[in-house]
Amino acid sequence: MSSYDIVAMGAGHNGLVAAAYLAKAGKKVLVLERKNHPGGGVSTQQLNTPGYWHDEHSSVHIMIQGNPMLRQDELGLLSQHGLKYHYSPVPHATVFPDQSVLYTYKDLDKTCECFAKVSPRDAETYRNFVKMSSDILKVFMPGLYSPPPPLGELVAMLDRTDEGRLMLEYMTRDCLSLVNDLYESDKIKIHLLRLVSENLQHPNELGTGMGVLLMPGIIHTYGVSQPIGGSGKLTEALVRCIESHGGEVRCNAEVAQILTSGGRATGVRMSDGEQILAKDAVIGAIHPHVVRKFVQGVPEPVLKKAERTQLAPFSIMVSHYDLKENAQYYADDQVGYATMCEFMATDSLDEMLADFDDLKRGLITERRLCAGGDESIGDKTRVPAGAGMFHGITFAPYTVTDKRWKDRHWDEFKEEIGDLSLAHYRKFVKNLTSDNIIARSIVSPVDLERSSPNSMMRGDLHGVAPYFHQSAGARPTQDLGQYTVPGVERLYLAGPFQHPGGGVYGAGRATAIKMFEELGMDFGAVAAGARQDNANPNVVATAEKVTKKEGMVLRGPANEELMHVEAIDRVGDELVIKGKSFGTMPMQARLDADSARAGLKLLGLGKLAFLATLPLRKGTGD
């Protein structure tokens, strides 16, 4: 029977991130993965032909670019462990049936020029919206990479300011109504809605509108990236990080049960019967629907709420093609450089919405809802010299009710559905022809579930649906929203079903912060040990800018601005502190006599003396 400080069940990227921080802190860490390779949804494999490297699930890394894990290179992934990103100047494109294209460039001016060809009014609306989105981003982004507040507390906080109430409105509304309020052109509406629908959400689903607010700011602030060599290069860098600190990642190792004793997680039992002890804690990539299967001692009401969490209303079917040469597009060459590209069967908003409605009912739509592209155009390391590849994604129901395939299993007809999508792609790609295709593989929603049975339930790559009631500290439920499991101490959750959601966020950082806190460790000290890597175009040198602000700035563990105090005034027998939190949200706090006395008590004589000399000390911007 072996023993470690930390044992992690599942080597998805979130679990690996959490484990890496613990390993960096000096803990003896073991990560266990049931598959023969780590990564979960962040994996790049030779699926068809040797030399052709396909992303199994995630391909585009968007939200992780704001994570201090990368921006401050806290784990050394960029500077020490080989992770490199490619940033296309064309993050997003939508090609319509007439081969006209709408582009979202990293450059806002170029984007607005493109939009203005369709609607000058919409182009100006978009420009103003991006400015607002970028301002809101400063409020929102820091909270994506640390434990969230309970949903009720978040709502109460947002409801105190105009900016917060705007965020709250977007969080509770649907994307369609918000886009209809702002824009006049169907093409521009489709372009923006298809982008946020990549989160596996219907455009008119209430409680999903935040994507409309945030995505423009994210694209024009951080860009859209892919690791050079494939999505799995992030996983490889995380594994190297863990191993460099003495940790271990073991594949072909399936966990059957979380061991508990006295209401505390103590280790795991493997499917072959081996028991591995965890002295400090266990990290579990355990979907809320299967907590009962893996963990004993959880109160029944907690389990029932977990099992009621809602999944996405549809899934995806993926097509992986190995090509003799790069894909060539009818529209123009720029399409090939789009990191995210939608191939539309219609330029009518009503028709697109009807297709989403049919999809939710389990139908295979005649008008395909497809996206895809040749990732080797921007990254030649993915294929042999001179060759190409095509990665196609089609929205598809997990349970097919369509009369053509009703009562048949996906395994029986997925090639037929793959042919339908191929016919659609050929309307946009000149050479996606039999003489250029070497091999292909089709991955159905059922295959996705098989690939990650404890995470991608019913083919939901993002764990659970991104609805408002399953957000922040209520993701996936109020009970499980703080990465812990009631009734079982020292068991911590990591995965796409936790805050902030599905996709590549590096969200295991928040799990690690929670663990550091409860294990009595200093997360900030560990995170601060990493240097900034100037080779990363998204490392933002904010420290100098922050120190030049008038007033007092309070920073978080990764040097991010948490609060900017602009004024401290006396009002009667109280001090009133005024400023902004996270850069834009107005904040006002009061300090009364009792609180002041309590603060002085916390400081003590030693810290009071230090406080008196602090203004004389050298600052970070000196």
Q: How far is CA 332 from the centre of its chain?
A: 30
Q: How far apart are CA 622 and CA 617, in angstroms?
A: 10
Asked whether the beta carbons of 15 and 495 are under 8 A apart, the reply is yes
Residue 330 has pLDDT above 80, yes or no: yes
Tokens, residue 252: 């072909």
Q: pLDDT at position 622, please?
A: 52
Q: How far apart are CA 160 and CA 360, in angstroms?
A: 37
Tokens, residue 366: 């005649």
Q: How far apart are CA 239 and CA 249, in angstroms?
A: 7
Q: How far apart are CA 175 and CA 558, in angstroms?
A: 32
**Which one of 71-80, 132-141, 587-596 scores highest in mean pLDDT?**
71-80
Residue 620 has pLDDT above 90, yes or no: no
Q: How far apart are CA 276 and CA 617, in angstroms?
A: 49
Residues 6 or more apart in contact with residue 134 via CB below 8 angstroms? 216, 217, 220, 221
Q: pLDDT at position 556, please?
A: 62
Residue 102 has pLDDT above 70, yes or no: yes
Pairing of strands 44-45, 255-261: unpaired
Residue 455 — φ and ψ, nearest 5°? -140, -50
Q: Report the run of H or E that residue 441 belongs to, with start and end.
A: strand 437-443
- Residues in the chain, how many? 622
Would you place residue 33 in the very low, low, confident or very high pLDDT band (cuts 50, 70, 90)? very high
Tokens, residue 246: 């003495």
Residue 541 has pLDDT above 80, yes or no: no
Q: What is the mean pLDDT of the chain?
A: 91
- Residue 510: closest CA among 500, 502, 520: 500
Q: What is the mean pLDDT of residues 344-370?
A: 97
Between CA 106 and CA 115, with CA 109 as vertex, the angle to 5 degrees is 95
Classify 318 as helix, strand or coil: strand
Tokens, residue 6: 């930390």
Tell me which amino acid residue 12 is: G
Q: pLDDT at position 544, please?
A: 32
Give, to the nearest 10 degrees, the angle between helix 13-24 and helix 232-244: 20
Would you place residue 550 in the very low, low, confident or very high pLDDT band (cuts 50, 70, 90)? low
Please report where in the chains the tokens 């052109």 appear, as a residue.
185
Q: pLDDT at position 607, please?
A: 76
Give residue-wise pLDDT tens across range 172-230: 999 999 999 999 999 999 999 999 999 999 999 999 999 999 999 999 999 999 999 99
Q: pLDDT at position 588, please?
A: 67
Q: How far apart are CA 231 and CA 213, in angstroms?
A: 26
Domain residue spans of the chain:
4-84+227-310+455-527, 553-600
Give residue-wise pLDDT tens across range 409-445: 999 999 999 999 999 999 999 999 999 999 999 999 9
Q: How far apart are CA 99 and CA 525, in angstroms?
A: 53
Please report where in the chains the tokens 């000399």 appear, as a residue.
613
Q: pLDDT at position 582, please?
A: 46
- Compare 82 and 597 and report the one with higher pLDDT: 82
Q: pLDDT at position 602, please?
A: 80
SS (H, E, C) 478-506: CCCCCCEECCEEEEEECCCCCCCCCCCCC
Asked whether the beta carbons of 473 and 499 are under 8 A apart, the reply is yes
Residue 538 has pLDDT above 80, yes or no: no
Please report where in the chains the tokens 């704001």 appear, as a residue.
66
Asked whether the beta carbons of 110 and 127 are under 8 A apart, the reply is no
Q: pLDDT at position 531, please?
A: 32
% of residues, the chain, pLDDT over 90: 81
Q: pLDDT at position 592, please?
A: 86
Pairing of strands 275-284, 488-493: parallel
Asked whether the beta carbons of 191 and 198 are under 8 A apart, the reply is no
Q: How far apart are CA 88 and CA 66, in angstroms?
A: 17
Would you place residue 557 in the very low, low, confident or very high pLDDT band (cuts 50, 70, 90)? low
Q: What is the mean pLDDT of residues 116-122?
A: 98
Tokens, residue 86: 């490619």
**Terminal CA-CA length for the chain:** 54
Tokens, residue 41: 């949804």
Would you place residue 171 in the very low, low, confident or very high pLDDT band (cuts 50, 70, 90)? very high
Residues 6 or more apart in contact with residue 172 via CB below 8 angstroms? 206, 207, 209, 468
Residue 263 — φ and ψ, nearest 5°? 75, 20
Give residue-wise pLDDT tens across range 482-497: 999 999 999 999 999 9
Instruction: Look up the pTM and report it.
Output: 0.88
Tokens, residue 620: 């970070």
Q: How far apart are CA 38 and CA 158, in angstroms?
A: 39
Alpha-helical segments (H) within 67-209:
68-71, 108-116, 120-140, 151-158, 162-172, 175-182, 186-197
Task: Give me the DSSP letters along 98-133.
Answer: TS-EEEE-SSHHHHHHHHHTT-HHHHHHHHHHHHHH
* Cis-peptide into 299, omega within 30 deg: no
Q: What is the mean pLDDT of residues 520-544?
A: 56
Q: pLDDT at position 615, please?
A: 78
Q: How far apart are CA 141 and CA 146, in angstroms?
A: 10
Q: pLDDT at position 598, please?
A: 83
Q: Which CATH class is domain 4-84+227-310+455-527?
A: alpha beta
Asked whether the beta carbons of 72 and 84 are under 8 A apart, the reply is no
Tokens, residue 565: 């105090």
Q: How far apart are CA 176 and CA 188, in angstroms?
A: 12
